[in-house]
């Protein structure tokens, strides 16, 4: 056998030996064709209702809707006391974004910091409010979590609505809490 022919023989033999799909067998745990369905041994457990009853259940799609609205406003200018696309301050931005999604929230940072329920950092979801202490004590700035480590807000220093990372040194040292209003 010549070298190229031997090489082709080895390739073909290796492909045939390792080809699971070529055997026609159905891999486990998949059911075989025309097999009866497996018996159900026990009903699936029903998770307990969250504190506050059914009203406390959260619709994740609502959070993504809020985050999407917030992201669509990137680049809108900052305006102290502003609450529309002509210019936003941080809490006016939050009020406007949630209002566009049919959700009423208070107007000021301090009122928003009291709204909804507190959530921990690891439980943050899109649409949650994130609060920072940027001047004095207590909540003085608010943004909207969009997922992962990012939030969108209307900062006065940047002059426009933008996305930033919560882990950035400036924000990480000023983060004071998060609230879920959805």
Which residues form the catalytic set?
A: 90, 141, 153
Give the E-state strand segments of 60-104 in sequence order.
83-84, 87-88
Say how far apart CA 172 and CA 37 lie, in whole Å.
Answer: 53
Say how far apart CA 82 and CA 91 lie, in whole Å.
Answer: 9
Spatial CA neighbour of 166 closest among 131, 116, 118: 131
| SS3 call for 77 | strand
| 118 beta partners | 179
How many CA within 13 A on the CB side of residue 162? 11
**Which two tokens mark 106?**
């208070």
- Contact between residue 132 and residue 139 where contact means Cβ atoms under 8 Å apart: yes
């Amino acid at each position: 056998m010549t070298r190229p022919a031997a090489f082709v023989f080895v390739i073909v033999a290796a492909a045939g030996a390792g080809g699971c799909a070529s055997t026609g067998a159905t891999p486990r745990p998949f059911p075989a064709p025309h097999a009866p369905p497996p018996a159900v041994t026990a009903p699936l457990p029903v998770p307990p209702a969250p504190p506050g009853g059914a009203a406390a259940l959260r619709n994740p799609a609502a959070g993504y809707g809020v985050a999407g609205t917030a992201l669509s406003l990137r680049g809108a200018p900052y305006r102290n006391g502003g609450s529309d696309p002509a210019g936003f301050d941080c809490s006016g931005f939050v009020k406007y974004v949630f209002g566009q999604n049919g959700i009423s929230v208070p107007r000021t940072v301090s009122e928003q910091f009291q709204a909804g329920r507190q959530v921990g950092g690891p439980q943050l979801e899109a649409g949650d409010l994130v609060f920072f202490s940027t001047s004095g004590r207590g909540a003085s700035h608010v943004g909207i979590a969009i997922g992962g480590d990012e939030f969108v807000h209307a900062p006065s220093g940047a002059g426009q609505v933008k996305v930033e990372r919560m882990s950035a040194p400036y924000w990480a040292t000023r983060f004071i809490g998060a609230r879920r209003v959805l």
